């Protein structure tokens, strides 16, 4: 499916490469050379997805990602980091600060398009679901909101998808690899431990609503959402 995509990168060659391939795939593309310009564009018109280079002049890509996640209007916009930093610690930092995916330069334009398509497809699929209730948890798919004991749970887009998946598969245990395939998509090629990062963030988000205990860890097996005491 096509979408409105903002490309934030100060490398004009990368900008042009990505913009041309996105346009040929039917997407509407906007570009920004730095985080400040990107933030101004997003305030004017919300994109369907943002591609952000880590090493931007002035405010870094990580700082921009953190800023977008902190604002109510932009916290659900999917973000893909584009970066030459391929160290595992850098990838975990990207995910911890709100990135949905992480693509290392140099990259294949076809792979990038596939990653974008997978994220937009998942977003559309989740939006089409009806209200889901599991114990004290209620998910309003139309509004993309989750409530715990009637209290709004503030989640990033990845945690929202992860929680939605768990709520549709109550009491089923999933390994990290299975969660990556189901929530991140089979195009994801990063470290499996990113699942642990998002599980931890999900539990923190559920704490105020007294529901963090519902996310269970089964050593050697994986994670599940359960109403029972395990």
Confidence band for 24, pLDDT divided at 50, 70 and 90: very high
pLDDT for the residue numbered 1: 58
pLDDT exceeds cutoff 60 at 229? no
pLDDT in tens, 200-217: 999 999 999 999 999 999
Structural domain boundaries in the chain:
4-125, 129-225
Output the six-digit token pair for 202: 């999900």
Under CATH, what is the fold of the domain 129-225? Arc Repressor Mutant, subunit A (1.10.10)
> One fold for both 4-125 and 129-225?
no
Half-sphere exposure of 213 (CA within 13 A, CB side): 7
Peptide bond connecting 219 to the previous residue in cis, omega within 30 degrees of 0: no
The model's pTM is: 0.60
Give CA–CA dist 80/87, Å, rounded. Answer: 16
Residue 169: partners with Cβ closer than 8 Å, 6 or more residues away: 224, 225
> Which listed CATH number (1.10.132.20, 3.40.640.10, 3.40.50.2300, 3.30.420.40) goes with 4-125?
3.40.50.2300
Contact 21, 66 (CB under 8 A): no
């Amino acid at each position: 499916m096509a979408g409105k995509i903002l490309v934030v990168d100060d490398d004009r060659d990368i900008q042009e490469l990505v913009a041309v391939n996105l346009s040929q795939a039917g997407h509407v593309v906007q570009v920004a050379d730095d985080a400040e310009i990107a933030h101004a564009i997003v305030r004017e018109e919300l994109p369907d997805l943002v591609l952000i280079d880590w090493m931007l002049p002035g405010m870094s890509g990580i700082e921009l990602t953190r800023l977008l996640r902190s604002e109510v209007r932009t916290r659900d916009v999917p973000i893909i980091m584009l970066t030459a930093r391929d160290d595992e610690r850098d990838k975990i930092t990207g995910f911890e600060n709100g990135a949905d995916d992480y693509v290392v330069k140099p990259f294949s334009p076809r792979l990038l398009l596939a990653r974008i398509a997978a994220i937009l497809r998942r977003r559309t699929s989740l939006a089409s679901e009806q209200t889901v209730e599991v114990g004290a948890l209620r998910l309003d798919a139309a509004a993309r909101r989750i409530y715990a004991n009637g209290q709004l749970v503030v989640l990033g887009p990845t945690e929202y998808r992860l929680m939605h998946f768990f709520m549709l598969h109550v009491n089923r245990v999933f390994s990290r690899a299975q969660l990556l395939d189901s929530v991140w998509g089979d195009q994801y090629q990063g470290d499996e431990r990113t699942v642990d990062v998002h599980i931890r963030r999900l539990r923190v988000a559920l704490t105020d609503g007294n529901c963090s205990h519902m996310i269970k860890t089964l050593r050697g097996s994986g994670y599940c959402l359960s109403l029972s005491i395990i």
